[in-house]
Amino acid sequence: MTAQKTNKEGRIGAQNRARILAAAEQEFALHGYNGTRLQNVADRAQLPKTNILYYFKSKEGLYLAVLEQILTLWNSAFDVATVDDDPALVLANYVAEKMEISRTKPEASKIYALEIINGAPNLSKFYKEQHVDWMDGRVALLQAWIDQGKLSVKDPYYLLFNIWACSQHYADFQAQIAALRGKGMDKQDFSDATKALIHMILSGCGLSVPDKFK
Amino acid sequence: MTAQKTNKEGRIGAQNRARILAAAEQEFALHGYNGTRLQNVADRAQLPKTNILYYFKSKEGLYLAVLEQILTLWNSAFDVATVDDDPALVLANYVAEKMEISRTKPEASKIYALEIINGAPNLSKFYKEQHVDWMDGRVALLQAWIDQGKLSVKDPYYLLFNIWACSQHYADFQAQIAALRGKGMDKQDFSDATKALIHMILSGCGLSVPDKFK
DNA sequence: ATATAAGTTGACCATCTGGTCTAGTTTTTG
DNA sequence: CAAAAACTAGACCAGATGGTCAACTTATAT
């Protein structure tokens, strides 16, 4: 071997990639995959369109990169909770985390929603299997709490679905929410909505709300 | 004036319109507005593409017709509930209605969700105003129940948002739900999910579940 | 310093797709 | 039975858009 391969990506490259990814996230969230124009992504990133194709092989490649970045957001303390933890605290924290993502990263939530609504054609088999494994583990944990009499729900699946549904709704449907309320949700509104949601979820499980979330 | 204008639409026309609308609903739900090809709608409706443009002036016209049809689904007994009605019964019925729509008309829910996620660019000003009026009225009703001590929630808005979020989730995210459960939701599963949701919603409001929904 | 890799850029193309045009056929109506 | 309206349908086009190409400039490493 002769000269060692350089890092294959200079500082400029890393910076531009990030710029493009951020711009693409906005555009995909706003217009969906098919509605997004590479030219618009380029304009938003203030780079010529050709550069996007230089860094990402194709529109699909760009989308997959955005999607991959989004999936890392889903990580949570709930992932590693055990049967010895307090269900009320764990669930309340999980809801609060989810709501915080909806507040700070609504674009990510929207892109994910669009992907699922369209039948998840671009989520890798690997991710799907991993997600099923995660779900199995969390359902088992919830079931253990149920068996211990710490949690009162019939089916753990529906509990998780409802948590996701409500928390993501505040990101995905923000246009409707703002229209119906007459104003957008500010930080305080999110705090109130989070408390309301935690109250509802925990009440439904026969748990009382920890002071921290009252 | 000479001959009176005929009905402007024969029997064939009405039938074809319905066929096209049904096909378009499927396609729009599956691929979104931009991802939908008129040719695919035509194939699904088993009609030549040109016919679609004949009955609906343009792709946008077709989409608007589909959307309009969908909005009529949203009508509910809750719309006309009064302060003298029983909150538990009214809310439980409302949730059950919403879940039934998710079960029987998931495409409609998906198209609506796609529309809102993208900022509701095609919902008419008229519809939006009407929706705000509806919301104001329903919020007032909920507030009246709260004032009477029949209902225990801090903010009626979040209650309604959470009801919509959960019920629509079972339609919009059916791909994810089926993947995580290992099988799709059948009628019995929907019945269970509906009971779980009603239990959660009513618990969160300090209401007990009517026998009918247990 | 200079060679090599990384990054930039405008010109250009192939294809796809919504929509038009025209010419015809069927249905309805008086 | 005509005449008019409703409906069918293939051929075709204009514009948009993802993507390629080749030439160029800048950065990096020895």
Query: Nearest 10 degrees: CA dihedral of A175, A181, A186, A188?
Result: -140
Q: What is the mean pLDDT of residues B188-214?
A: 97
Q: What separation in angstroms does the CA of A78 have from each of A89, A137, A139?
A: 10, 11, 12
pLDDT of residue A14: 81
pLDDT of residue A4: 33
Size of interface A-B (CB pairs under 8 A): 156
**pLDDT tens for residues B136-151?**
999 999 999 999 999 9
Which residue of chain A comes nearest to B35, CA vs CA? A34
**What mean pLDDT value characterizes chain B?**
94
- If pLDDT is split at 50, 70 and 90, which confidence band does B8 have? low
**pLDDT tens for residues B72-94?**
999 999 999 999 999 999 999 99
Looking at chain B, the whole-number percentage of residues with pLDDT higher than 70 is: 95
The answer to whether some atom of strand D lies closer than 7 Å to the beta carbon of A37 is yes
Q: Is the pLDDT of residue A119 over 60?
A: yes
Q: Is the pLDDT of residue B4 over 50?
A: no
B173-210 burial: b if 16+ Cβ within 10 Å, else e: bbbbbebbbeeebeeebbebbbbbbbbbbbbbbebebe
Q: What is the mean pLDDT of residues A139-157?
A: 97
- Select the residue from B180, B194, B195 to test the A interface by mutation, using most A Cβ atoms within 10 A: B180
| CATH class of the domain defined by A11-68 | mainly alpha
Burial of B44 (0-12, 13-18, 19+ CB in 10 A): middle
pLDDT of residue A8: 54
pLDDT of residue B79: 97
Q: Do A114 and B30 touch (CB under 8 A)?
A: no
Q: Do B201 and A200 touch (CB under 8 A)?
A: yes
The answer to whether some atom of strand D lies closer than 7 Å to the beta carbon of A203 is no
**pLDDT tens for residues B58-72?**
999 999 999 999 999
Of chain B, the end-to-end C-alpha distance in Å amounts to 65
**pLDDT tens for residues B151-200?**
999 999 999 999 999 999 999 999 999 999 999 999 999 999 999 999 99
| CATH class of the domain defined by A75-213 | mainly alpha
Distance, CA of B75 to CA of A37 (rounded, Å): 37
Q: Is the pLDDT of residue A6 over 50?
A: no
Q: Is the pLDDT of residue B116 over 60?
A: yes
Q: What is the mean pLDDT of residues A17-42?
A: 96
| Beta carbons within 10 angstroms of residue A133's beta carbon | 10
Of A116, A170, A181, which has the smallest distance from its Cβ to B175's Cβ?
A: A116
Q: Is the pLDDT of residue B1 over 70?
A: no
- Give A50→chain B minimum CA distance, Å: 23
- Decide: A176 and B168 in contact? Cβ < 8 Å: no
pLDDT of residue B3: 28
Q: What separation in angstroms does the CA of B134 have from each of B52, B72, B128, B160?
A: 34, 14, 10, 12
Domain regions of chain A by residue span: 11-68, 75-213
- Select the residue from B163, B169, B186, B192 to test the A interface by mutation, using most A Cβ atoms within 10 A: B169
Q: What is the mean pLDDT of residues B110-117?
A: 98
Lowest mean pLDDT: which of A168-177, B6-15, B85-94, B111-120? B6-15
**pLDDT tens for residues A153-209?**
999 999 999 999 999 999 999 999 999 999 999 999 999 999 999 999 999 999 999
pLDDT of residue A35: 96
Distance, CA of A56 to CA of A111 (rounded, Å): 18
What dotted CATH number matches B11-69?
Answer: 1.10.10.60
Looking at chain A, the whole-number percentage of residues with pLDDT higher than 90 is: 92
